[in-house]
Chain A
Amino acid sequence: MNSIVIGVIGADVHAVGNRIIEFTLTREGYNVVNVGVLSSQEDFINAAIETSARLILVSSLYGHGELDCRGMREKCNEAGLDDILLYVGGNIVVGKQDFAEVEKRFKNMGFNRVYPPGVTIDDVLETIKADLGEN
């Protein structure tokens, strides 16, 4: 069973989407490790080390996602998680910005998949399976 670490990063307390993601991924047969709301990069990374997770799925809804996610890939590398997949989704930047630009910025920060507002976890399931080599 593949482990996936999920959680809401930074000073963000939005808990509902986090529950839905946990529910859906559990239903799909994953070992979901939920670090919950108000989580730091270290919380995600430490959880991934102990559980040998192959994917960290970061949620952010309050607009500060870019600040909160900066340096996460470098920390993963330091922690020996060189091959871990990083996804981020939600309302990850402030205001109405061109999403192609936003996606580029996050990809430059080392995120493998970047999702705009309105994308649900169900929309992403096929991508997760493909990225984890399950298809």
Chain B
Amino acid sequence: MRSYLLVDFGSTFTKLTAVDLDKMDIIATSKAVTTVETNIIEGYELALSRLYKILGTIIKFEKIVACSSAAGGLKMAAIGLVESLTTEAAARVCLGAGAKVELVLSHNINNREVQSILDKKIDIILLAGGANGGNKECVIHNAKQLAKSDIKAPIIFAGNKDAQDEIEEILSSAKKDFYICENVMPRLNVLNIESAKNKIKEIFVKNIIEAKGIKKVEKIIDRVVLPTPNAVLMAAELLSKGFDDEPGLGDLMIADVGGATTDIYSMANGFPKQANAILSGLEEPFAKRTVEGDLGMRYSALGILHQMNPSEIAHWKKHGIDMVSETNKRFNHIDLIPETDFDFAVEDILSAKCIDAAMSRHVGTLKDVYTPLGMMYYQVGKDLTATNYFIGTGGAVISSKKPVTMLKHATQMESKAMELRPVNPKFLLDKDYILSAMGLLSLDYPEIALKIMKKRIVEIKGE
């Protein structure tokens, strides 16, 4: 038997997924609390002993690879010039690389903003600004600001190429750890993700996991290769596009509701579906990820309350649910595990709210405009109305008794008619939480990873 072990060092749990390559299936999964504060190996070994117990035997894995979002994940600052252009492009690159965008800065950055980079303990800074041949004063100013600061974090320059030489000089004479990449927006509204994204992943593997105490696990496993969200993105893209003879599922979306954030992924071009819509704004990536740091079931539970209007809160009160105390309870007890029917009902409502609000921010929107040729629409963002599959994952979705009802809250609705949400998707559930593991497996065996996902991520029908 040839087998692989995929490891996900999460912020809370270290999750193990064992795969039999010949049978092309998962043979066991296990988890244990992540122990990055003491020694990351302890949590891993505990999870491994649990896995062996389930298997009833000790097996020798052909390869053990891991992804990680432990020790705060990968915290990045995205710096650009105009908010809607290079700043947005830089933020999308960070998200596409699996980072948490903790800071978004634009135009000339000031001393306080530089200080905030230090205060937030940013792991990597992405410095963009200016299309090629365009503005370079701003990035040069920002590079000088970074140069004179105490910042030790690696800096990736991915702005106007005309400024490259000067910036190289500024950062090297200040002895900063810096890297030069292609411009994230080489021409107006054109998004160029790959070069800077690959550099982020490279720095993550080379420096960041070491700094966070994750690297020592490489003594007993092969390597830590990716930030976890990036593994999920790879799995999602594979599941959508297919591989060789094995067809993919086409346009799909994923909602991942966690304790601190709600992540939405879309795998689709998202071009306008109607003839009278005109695409405007910055180009969108095929594999798009958005992260809502204010929407989560525990750490960010209070953010959900902000999404509810007074009438909604009153409505639930009438049904015996005090949303103010329920959200506060979760925020104050992050280890709360739902037990009663009441708990599950509240979890469902909160989780549905997370997905609904995160969906609003992810999908494109239409804005009507009256022209001499009749009514036309500006489309900003992706048209995701034709999404074939909508996949739910994350604790609150997986453990829900009514996941379809929950996911339906994020599909097209009359009250949000101008949002280009999925209209009539099929609903799937990633019940074993295998997406990140399959992203890792796909690095070596994409076809097997795809087959496993198609088998294990199952369709769910309405209740």
A residues touching B (Cβ–Cβ < 8 Å)? 1, 3, 11-13, 31, 33, 35-39, 43, 46-47, 49-53, 62
The reply to whether the CB of B271 lies closer than 8 angstroms to some CB of chain A is no
Interchain CA distance A52-B185 in the complex, whole Å: 14
Interchain CA distance A37-B370 in the complex, whole Å: 14
> From residue B348, how far is it (CB to closest CB) to chain A in Å?
41
> From residue B167, how far is it (CB to closest CB) to chain A in Å?
16
B187 and chain A: residue at smallest CB distance: A33
Q: Is the CB of A50 within 8 A of B373?
A: no
Q: Which of B150-202 contact A (CB under 8 A)?
A: 185, 187-188
Is chain B's binding surface mostly helix, strand, loop or mixed? loop
Q: Specify which of B82, B129, B278, B376 is in contact with A46 (CB 8 Å cutoff).
A: B82
Contacts of B115 in A (CB 8 A): none
Binds A, one of B131-139, B214-222, B389-397: B131-139
Most B C-beta atoms less than 10 A away, residue of A3, A12, A31, A49: A49
Q: Is the CB of A52 within 8 A of B135?
A: yes
Contacts of A39 in B (CB 8 A): 280
A-B contacts, 5 of them at CB < 8 A, read A11-B369, A12-B371, A38-B376, A50-B185, A51-B130
Q: Which of B260-283 contact A (CB under 8 A)?
A: 278, 280
Most A C-beta atoms less than 10 A away, residue of B130, B133, B185, B370: B133
B377 and chain A: residue at smallest CB distance: A38
Q: Is the CB of A49 within 8 A of B371?
A: no
Number of interface residues of B (CB under 8 A): 24
Q: Total contacts A to B, CB within 8 angstroms?
A: 63
Known: A38-B378, A43-B280, A47-B188. A11 touches B370 (CB 8 A): yes
Q: Is the CB of B81 within 8 A of A49?
A: yes
Contacts of A52 in B (CB 8 A): 130, 133-136
The reply to whether the CB of B372 lies closer than 8 angstroms to some CB of chain A is yes
The reply to whether the CB of B29 lies closer than 8 angstroms to some CB of chain A is no
| B351-370 to A contact mask, C-beta < 8 Å, 1/0 | 00000000000000000011
Q: Is the CB of B85 within 8 A of A62?
A: no
Contacts of B370 in A (CB 8 A): 11
Interchain CA distance A35-B136 in the complex, whole Å: 21
Q: Is the CB of B188 within 8 A of A51?
A: yes
Q: Is the CB of B280 within 8 A of A50?
A: no
Interchain CA distance A40-B373 in the complex, whole Å: 18
> From residue A9, how far is it (CB to closest CB) to chain B in Å?
12
The reply to whether the CB of B86 lies closer than 8 angstroms to some CB of chain A is yes
Q: Which of B373-389 contact A (CB under 8 A)?
A: 373, 376, 378
The 7 A-B pairs of least Cβ separation, nearest first, read: A51-B134, A52-B135, A11-B371, A52-B134, A46-B82, A11-B369, A50-B131
Contacts of A38 in B (CB 8 A): 278, 280, 369, 371, 376, 378
> From residue B82, how far is it (CB to closest CB) to chain A in Å?
5
Q: Specify which of B135, B369, B372, B378 is in contact with A49 (CB 8 Å cutoff).
A: B135
The reply to whether the CB of B84 lies closer than 8 angstroms to some CB of chain A is yes
Interchain CA distance A83-B369 in the complex, whole Å: 31
Q: Specify which of B130, B278, B371 is in contact with A50 (CB 8 Å cutoff).
A: B130
Q: Is the CB of B133 within 8 A of A62?
A: no
> From residue A126, how far is it (CB to closest CB) to chain B in Å?
24
Interchain CA distance A120-B130 in the complex, whole Å: 31
Q: Is the CB of B134 within 8 A of A37?
A: no
Known: A11-B371, A12-B371. A50 touches B133 (CB 8 A): no
> From residue A1, how far is it (CB to closest CB) to chain B in Å?
6
Contacts of A12 in B (CB 8 A): 371-372
Contacts of A11 in B (CB 8 A): 369-372, 376
Interchain CA distance A62-B371 in the complex, whole Å: 9
Known: A13-B376, A46-B82, A47-B188. A31 touches B133 (CB 8 A): yes
Contacts of B187 in A (CB 8 A): 33
Contacts of A43 in B (CB 8 A): 280
| B272-300 to A contact mask, C-beta < 8 Å, 1/0 | 00000010100000000000000000000
> From residue B241, how far is it (CB to closest CB) to chain A in Å?
30
> From residue B5, how far is it (CB to closest CB) to chain A in Å?
47
Q: Specify which of A1, A3, A50, A53 is in contact with B85 (CB 8 Å cutoff).
A: A50
B136 and chain A: residue at smallest CB distance: A52
Interchain CA distance A69-B372 in the complex, whole Å: 18
Contacts of A37 in B (CB 8 A): 278
Contacts of B188 in A (CB 8 A): 33, 35, 47, 50-51
> From residue A101, how far is it (CB to closest CB) to chain B in Å?
24
Interchain CA distance A49-B129 in the complex, whole Å: 10
> From residue A128, how far is it (CB to closest CB) to chain B in Å?
18
Interchain CA distance A120-B280 in the complex, whole Å: 27
Q: Is the CB of A46 within 8 A of B84?
A: yes
Contacts of B134 in A (CB 8 A): 3, 50-53
Interchain CA distance A36-B130 in the complex, whole Å: 19
Interchain CA distance A38-B188 in the complex, whole Å: 16
> From residue B350, how far is it (CB to closest CB) to chain A in Å?
37
Contacts of B131 in A (CB 8 A): 33, 50-51
